[in-house]
Amino acid sequence: MNKITQKQLAERWHLSPRTLEQWRWLGKGPRFLKIGARVLYREVDVDAWEAEQVCQNTSGPLSTVGA
C-alpha cells in the first residue's frame, strides 16, 4: 500500500501544505494516517476522495444515489 506525504499531496493538487493542514483540522479532505508527528496519506484514500469530487456542473459533486 503506497503512502504519500503532505508535501507530495500538496504538489499533486497544486495546493499549499498549509491548506491540507487546515482541511485536516476541519475534517475535510481525504483520510490520513497520523504516526507520531508525521502525517501520511494512503494513495487508495486519496484516489477515492478524488473520485468523490467529480462534478457534472458547478452545483457540486455528482450524486451517488442510484449509481
Residues 24 and 10: their CA atoms lie apart, in Å, by 13
pLDDT digits (tens, 9 = 90+) for 1-60: 799 999 999 999 999 999 999 999 999 999 999 999 999 999 999 999 999 988 877 776
Residues 40 and 42: their CA atoms lie apart, in Å, by 7
Residue 35: its pLDDT value, please? 93
Residue 49: its pLDDT value, please? 96
Domain boundaries, the chain: 3-57
Q: How many CB atoms lie within 10 A of CB 24?
A: 16
Q: What's this model's pTM, rounded to 2 decimal places?
A: 0.80
Residue 16: its pLDDT value, please? 97
Residue 1: its pLDDT value, please? 78
Long-range own/partner contacts, residues 24-30 (CB < 8 A, 24 or more apart): none
